[in-house]
Structure 1
């Protein structure tokens, strides 16, 4: 089946992201706090927490670290208040960008995000200026190996309720509706599958090809945003040049 993931292209800096694993764990810890606060500390009864735990596992967060984060969140529920804010704007060459923030200081976050945009040739826009170009989708990424049969995996995913299945160079990408994500993920987990990525995210309807000069400039903007402790996720519709590295 055809799809629009371009997972490896969009994850061109996966190695760099892996090098920042501690920061990734901190960001996931904040998502655990929000999930526990809204639905309680039990993954069995809290669907959102169950999804965040799956994301944590896909990011190689150790099980004991996950459990400590849930326990800490349970004790801190009345002490920690994060505002969830979504910023939208344009990177260099009009790249559409969505930035999700969890913050205890709105002014700090707004200033930092705006600075990252303007410093690297972009500009922050009004709410809704680019979000119409994206759809919220569940995305599960599975690394290819000799033990996985592509046809069997595709049927397994589709039977579980997935919308799409794409075979890329090194990975399989399963796409779901947001409301079906947990059910599909759990069905695949029960069949012993492990994930490189498993989360609900904003997926662009189409991608914009960019040249090497723009790619270098835009990657610096992404790095600055992703280094910000308040920034949880950054979504965009840029397609980096084939084989490009910073």
Structure 2
């Protein structure tokens, strides 16, 4: 879990530095679209998934007008359906990679994902080939006041918190819960009037693959290209984040 937290922190900082705002907005608009269509409601009060998507939108400073426009478009019966396929494969050195997508064109998406794997030293595999190497967990990130950390953690244990990771440099608290406790934690945070910077279900590696620096960088390049694809929502992997590799990302 520690390796995953380190990767997540670097990824958030890197994302801020790279200012990939348009990609983040695109991803969240798809989250909003799926939430509205699945919940058959554009009212966040009665649609928990939409409430979560809006919270994530606010976490990346998406303008209110963009959020409202996305909800309105999703409510339009003529708007395209959004599918959520997943793909599994391997990167250089046998690193397991799990890709979550949201798309209105399945043929385009699978073709693009397969091409990215093939052209960057990886290979697309069959469903279930790497899924077992990950545990699905709920992960919440929020800003807190350091002096309130101890009491807050005690309160959040009631919501099902399994693990906490606090970054004193940013005052960010990362909370991990079991898959089945995701809704409980969402409700607990709302009851405490705490806004999240991000929240969602993630795939946490239960085993890591350690590579030499050159091979590890090739895997990171593959992951970066996958994440830039318009249909890709999330990419999870089990590459071990060594200090040497971390230094190349700063």
What is the TM-score with the length of structure 1 in the denominator? 0.88
Deviation for aligned residue 1:203: 1.5
Whole-Å separation in 1 of the counterparts to 2:65 and 2:6: 29
Deviation for aligned residue 1:130: 0.5
Whole-Å separation in 2 of the counterparts to 1:121 and 1:35: 35
Please name the residue that 1:69 is paired with: 70
* 151-160 or 136-145: bigger deviation: 136-145
Whole-Å separation in 1 of the counterparts to 2:218 and 2:83: 29
Deviation for aligned residue 1:52: 1.7
**SS of the residue 1:142 aligns to:** strand
Whole-Å separation in 2 of the counterparts to 1:48 and 1:5: 28
Whole-Å separation in 1 of the counterparts to 2:180 and 2:96: 25
Cα contact 1:137–1:203 (8 A) shared by 2:
yes
Deviation for aligned residue 1:143: 4.1
Q: For the aligned residues, what is the CA RMSD?
A: 2.2
* 19-28 or 190-199: bigger deviation: 190-199
Shift in CA distance, 123/88, structure 1 to aligned 2, threshold 3 Å: same
Whole-Å separation in 2 of the counterparts to 1:205 and 1:216: 21
Cα contact 2:141–2:197 (8 A) shared by 1:
yes
From 15, 18, 25, the equivalent of 1:17 is 15
Structure with the bigger percentage of helix: 2
Please name the residue that 1:106 is paired with: 106
Give CA deviations for 1:16-52 in whole Å, capped at 9, x if unaligned.
4231111111111112111111111111111221222
Whole-Å separation in 1 of the counterparts to 2:167 and 2:212: 22
Whole-Å separation in 2 of the counterparts to 1:232 and 1:186: 24
Deviation for aligned residue 1:169: 5.6
* 181-190 or 46-55: bigger deviation: 181-190
* 16-25 or 89-98: bigger deviation: 16-25
Equivalenced residue count is 242
Whole-Å separation in 2 of the counterparts to 1:169 and 1:126: 41
Please name the residue that 1:125 is paired with: 125
Cα contact 1:10–1:239 (8 A) shared by 2:
no
Alignment of 1:157-176 (within 5 A): 157-168=156-167, 170=169, 171-176=172-177
Shift in CA distance, 216/143, structure 1 to aligned 2, threshold 3 Å: farther
Deviation for aligned residue 1:104: 2.0
* 88-97 or 52-61: bigger deviation: 52-61
Shift in CA distance, 13/159, structure 1 to aligned 2, threshold 3 Å: closer
Shift in CA distance, 154/5, structure 1 to aligned 2, threshold 3 Å: farther
Cα contact 1:210–1:240 (8 A) shared by 2:
no
